[in-house]
């Protein structure tokens, strides 16, 4: 008897598959105001783990968390011309507060450059105050006309870092450090995603930045998703806010700045990178639930045993949930955990207990086999590390097999049309070629140097443009 | 030579002392939109520690974190009559989004009962879905006419819990569990505050609740501050949103609900409870920096040694910061750490190294004495626990010595006027007496039973009202 598929197959309709996964695995739901999102406990659990892993890496750089207000006076937005132009069409505006019309409307932050720079200009006085390294975990609002859960939402959660430095070089190095030691390290080591670090073209750069560094991931349909960006802001904001420090030799110098952010979009990326026709597959290092221990039947011996196994696995350092909801049919629960992508299921029924075993189902490689109960705590940590490595390998293999080296714009459009990425020499493409690609809804995701490193100069000979359709 | 005081003495002008502490210890700054606040890294570090300690306790109850949208359609607010009346004057209203006037304005959440209940009504279908236990860490906006940093701000950070249960009894027990096992335990054990758990009068109850449980703390000026509340919502919201579950015997029953919250206000309470004329005093179990190791002078041997001491104390499980900013005068740094209330300072200069000692300054009991370098890691953990206990004891002694048992309304007003709390039999006071007190700006903070427990019935004979001026 063939099982009716719970989800639209990926190969049939990827966007619908994505919608199905979100609906069935229940990481989120649509909010009542258009484009907003309710992040349900399972999705928020993913975000909490992302936060914990990223926050530790951010603090390792010396940055400290702070919190700036949600509401920003509208006049602030006009201080840096490029910046305001970039955000104006997306703003949510508060015109009434406390029952009265406000003298000056306030915007709900679309990002916090403006308000944070206002405070930086007060807090930075001397070279002793530098570097000033601030990070914030917060919600932001950008009005979204074509919303899609996690990928484009009117409100999303993110971290935004903002720093001020004494020299151009220090700021450049810090932006690069965040790019590689925080973002890339987290994405590769925890999300098991084979992201490509690169540099944005002038066209794709953040409004008001000198340089934007990015990490691009290939999704299951061959499209690209920008995972996080780190910007060198130069002195544009410092000039707009007159943020100066007294140098050791007594001069009032403008600071050099960076900003960098990553968002709940990463949850969507996770789904589209590792998901398959049975649902999510969550990398074990990220998973809030690495192992679920299921009672197959309502039986006292079984219930006692699943709780005991749960305790033992927790003691072995694993993140474990016990599922003893025997008033819900076992099959339904098993499918649900599969949809949610929990890496390992330990299923315990009365017959298993007689044999001293449990069935171990591994979500990532697939498959199910009996394992001696006493061996679980020893086996599982190593298996989960294998699963983590397998996801990364599959992500790398997809990118490699679906990326084509081409030498003309036409070939690039063709390769992307076939569902993948193209690598084309930037010298062949240039800004005109980039504009031509845009007519085909293809963008330059990033520039990489000949040797695969991140180019210090966007126009260096040998730079290669990675082009794709993008989320 | 007498040191000029950095702060206005508490006894001279408590509100000005509070302002001075906030300005000098730098936990926060005023935001540009009236009533908003920038939480600076030192203040946010306190909040992060509060979050970590509270979040662990909240998860221990089985509740899980989620995230609901910031923006709520204005029409939602009208669904529960008492509730909307409570919040209407404080709302911030978004009328424009994405460059256009919105068809329906959205309010920035002042609390999330409305939006969360809308989803509860979808998610709850069967008795198997209960209890549904959700918590959210978020920002909320309530327009504030007389703002004061941390105590009353237009935007603040908080956690808000929302739960649905099958029976009245379960909901009541859960509200009580949050009240005592999450809030009271955290406040007593971590914040070292001798809070009083009690029950609100009908007049002081949350808009739309059957019963509100509270924890009240006495501040340094004898006024009361409501630290957190836990509400039994009964079936008011369930009726408004038609949130029903299919019971085991096949009937569609309304759920019983709770909500509960605590905010960044607790940072203000911490300042006003433990602060003294030299600044903050942070309880060691809360402190993000428990020990600061200071290099007195720019000397290679000293710098090497402070880093080594820092590593050793970290290895002993302490939260440590090394202060090697020798380009700032030592005296200024020492005063700054004193203002910030870091429990222990280890000061290392060249002369100390010769003696194999460091100066150990203890912020909480006060005093400074040389300690052998090798003994620090053994000594400090015990000292910090002593300091933690001392703060709690001082808080308890203040409350006891400044609380007066009275038997008339006039005596209550007089006792409160002298700068403290009064305990007056609720039978003497009643709702009329409560209204009389209000004319003197005195409120009933909570009702407690004769034996000190939290009364199950607000009108039980023997109930005592604790009355005070409040923040």
Q: What is the DSSP letter of A109?
A: P
CA–CA dist A191, A282 (Å, integer): 8
Q: What pLDDT was estimated at residue B299?
A: 95
User: Is A134 close to B41, i.e. CB distance below 8 A?
Assistant: yes
CA–CA dist A186, A59 (Å, integer): 13
Q: Chain A residue with minimal CA distance to B31?
A: A69
- Reading chain A (471 residues) residue by residue, the pLDDT tens digits are 445 568 999 999 999 999 999 999 999 999 999 999 999 999 999 999 999 999 999 999 999 999 999 999 998 887 777 767 777 789 999 999 988 999 999 999 999 999 999 999 999 999 999 999 999 999 999 999 899 999 999 999 999 999 999 999 999 999 999 999 999 999 999 999 999 999 999 999 988 899 999 999 999 999 999 999 999 999 999 999 999 999 999 999 999 999 999 999 999 999 999 999 999 999 999 999 999 999 999 999 999 999 999 999 999 999 999 999 999 999 999 999 999 999 999 999 999 999 999 999 999 999 999 999 999 999 999 999 999 999 999 999 999 999 999 999 999 999 999 999 999 999 999 999 999 999 999 999 999 999 999 999 999 999 999 999 999
Q: What pLDDT was estimated at residue B403?
A: 98
| Class (C level, CATH) for A402-468 | alpha beta
Specify whether domain B403-468 bears CATH 3.40.190.10.
no
Rounded to whole angstroms, what are the CA distances from B68 to A36, A438, B36? 9, 36, 22
pLDDT digits (tens, 9 = 90+) for B39-80: 999 999 999 999 999 999 999 999 999 999 999 999 888 777
Q: What pLDDT was estimated at residue B3?
A: 56
Q: How many CB atoms lie within 10 A of CB A126?
A: 12
Q: What pLDDT was estimated at residue A4?
A: 58
Rounded to whole angstroms, what are the CA distances from B424 to B217, B226, B466? 18, 19, 7
Average pLDDT over residues B450-469: 95
- The domain spans of chain A are 14-274, 291-383, 402-468
**Chain B partners within 8 Å of A86 (Cβ):** none
Q: Chain A residue with minimal CA distance to B66?
A: A41
- The dihedral formed by the CA atoms of A330, A334, A336 and A337, expressed in degrees to the nearest 10: 130
Identify the CATH assignment for A14-274 out of 3.30.420.10, 2.30.30.140, 3.40.50.2000, 3.30.930.10.
Answer: 3.30.930.10
pLDDT above 90 (res B276): yes
Average pLDDT over residues B151-159: 97
**Chain B partners within 8 Å of A69 (Cβ):** 31-33, 36-38, 155
User: Shortest CB distance from B69 goes to which of A36, A96, A119?
Assistant: A36
CA–CA dist B214, B197 (Å, integer): 6
Q: What pLDDT was estimated at residue B79?
A: 77
CA–CA dist B166, B179 (Å, integer): 20
| Class (C level, CATH) for B291-383 | alpha beta
Q: What pLDDT was estimated at residue A86?
A: 73
- B70 to chain A, closest Cα gap in Å: 8
Give the H or E element holding residue A268.
Answer: helix A265-274
Pairing state of beta strands B403-405 and B368-372? unpaired
Q: What pLDDT was estimated at residue B4?
A: 58
Q: What pLDDT was estimated at residue A1?
A: 41
A147 touches chain B (CB under 8 A): no
Cα torsion B157, B158, B159, B165: sign: negative
Q: What pLDDT was estimated at residue A419?
A: 94
Q: What pLDDT was estimated at residue A2?
A: 46
Q: What is the largest CA-CA distance in chain B?
A: 82
Confidence of residue B285 (pLDDT cuts 50, 70, 90): very high
- B19 to chain A, closest Cα gap in Å: 18
Non-local CB neighbours of A439 within 8 Å, separated by 6+ positions: none
Q: How many CB atoms lie within 10 A of CB B37?
A: 26
Rounded to whole angstroms, what are the CA distances from A15 to A19, A144, A267? 6, 18, 15
A44 touches chain B (CB under 8 A): yes
B373 touches chain A (CB under 8 A): no
B456 touches chain A (CB under 8 A): no
């Amino acid at each position: 008897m063939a099982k009716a598929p719970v989800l639209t197959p990926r190969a049939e309709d990827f966007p619908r598959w994505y919608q199905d996964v979100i609906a069935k695995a229940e990481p989120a739901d649509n909010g009542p105001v258009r484009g907003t999102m309710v992040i349900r406990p399972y999705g928020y659990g993913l975000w909490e783990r992302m936060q914990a892993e990223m926050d530790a890496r951010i603090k390792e750089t010396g940055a400290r968390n702070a919190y700036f207000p949600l509401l920003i006076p509208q006049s602030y937005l006009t201080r840096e011309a490029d910046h305001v132009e970039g955000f104006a069409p997306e703003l949510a505006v508060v015109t009434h507060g406390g029952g009265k019309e406000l003298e000056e409307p306030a915007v709900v932050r679309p990002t916090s450059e403006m308000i944070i720079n206002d405070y930086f200009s007060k807090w930075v006085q001397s070279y002793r105050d530098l570097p000033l390294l601030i990070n914030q975990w917060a919600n932001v609002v950008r009005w979204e006309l074509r919303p899609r859960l996690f990928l484009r939402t009117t409100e999303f959660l993110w971290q935004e870092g903002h720093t001020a430095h004494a020299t151009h070089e220090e700021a450049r190095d810090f932006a690069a450090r965040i790019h590689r030691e925080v973002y890339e390290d987290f994405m590769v080591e925890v999300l098991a995603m084979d992201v490509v670090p690169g540099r944005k073209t002038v066209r794709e750069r953040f409004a008001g930045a000198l340089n934007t560094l990015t990490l691009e991931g290939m999704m299951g349909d061959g499209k690209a998703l920008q995972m996080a960006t780190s910007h060198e802001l130069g002195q544009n904001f410092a000039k707009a806010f007159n943020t100066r420090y007294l140098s050791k030799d007594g001069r009032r110098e403008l600071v050099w700045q960076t900003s960098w952010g990553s968002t709940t979009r990463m949850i969507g990326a996770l789904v589209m990178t590792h998901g398959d026709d049975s649902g999510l597959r969550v990398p074990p290092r990220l998973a809030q639930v690495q192992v679920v221990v299921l009672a197959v039947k309502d039986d006292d011996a079984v219930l006692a045993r699943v709780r005991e196994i749960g305790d033992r696995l927790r003691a072995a350092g694993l993140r474990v949930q016990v599922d003893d909801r025997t008033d819900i049919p076992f099959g339904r629960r098993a499918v649900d955990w599969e949809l949610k992508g929990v890496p390992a299921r330990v299923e315990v029924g009365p017959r298993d207990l007689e044999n001293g075993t449990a069935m171990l189902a591994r979500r990532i490689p697939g498959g199910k086999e009996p394992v001696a109960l006493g061996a679980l705590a020893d086996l599982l940590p190593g298996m989960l590390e294998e699963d983590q490595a397998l996801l990364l390998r599959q992500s790398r293999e997809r990118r490699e097999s679906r990326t084509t080296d081409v030498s003309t714009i036409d070939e690039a459009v063709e390769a992307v049309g076939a569902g993948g990425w193209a690598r084309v020499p930037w010298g062949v493409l240039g800004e005109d070629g980039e504009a031509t690609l845009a007519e085909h809804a293809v963008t330059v995701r990033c520039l990489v140097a000949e040797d695969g490193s991140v180019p210090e100069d966007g126009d260096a000979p040998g730079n290669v443009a990675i082009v794709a359709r993008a989320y």
